Amino acid sequence: MVEGAKMLVCSRCQKLGEPYKEEAPPPQRPTMSYVRVHPTPQRKPAELPKEVGELEVADNFSEIIRKRRMKLGLSQDELAKRISQKLSLIQKIETGSFVPDTRLCRLVEHELKVKLLVPLKEAELPKNPVQSEVTLGDIVKIKGKTKEPIPP
């Protein structure tokens, strides 16, 4: 400590001050814990509704939206205002460059009275894959059958 300040100094300047002693922090007082008389009920973690995981946006959603909007005589701007979205978002949806999420699909479905969310299709796997290529194992089997045993 040199003149009340903690400093790192050379050996010559060290004589001007006194060694710094680290003071122990004051002891912590024990904290008091409070017990609630009426505990709050535990909330379950937010779960997605079943239908969200089982539904997907229809492949031709942009066509469906555009045709229905035109049939109702609405402009893109009017539709955007009705569902509280930007005009540019409606334009992107109708061109197919933006795929709406489930919430937005619900808004559009309600406003236009159309069905945009369809049940999720599971990819079908072929049950018996047809082997169209010859593998190394096939060649070994073929050549192995045609070989004659070597006499001793």
66 exposure class (CB count in 10 Å sphere: 0-12, 13-18, 19+): middle
Q: Helices (H) and strands (E) in the chain — how many of each? A: 7, 2
Q: How far is CA 98 from the centre of its chain?
A: 17
Q: Could you tell me the domains of the chain? A: 52-119 (1.10.260.40)
- Tens digit of each residue's pLDDT, the chain (152 residues): 777 788 788 888 888 888 877 777 777 776 666 656 555 566 655 555 555 567 888 889 999 999 999 999 999 999 999 999 999 999 999 999 999 998 999 999 999 999 988 888 765 656 655 556 777 666 666 555 555 555 55
**Distance (Å, whole) CA 15 – CA 1:** 10
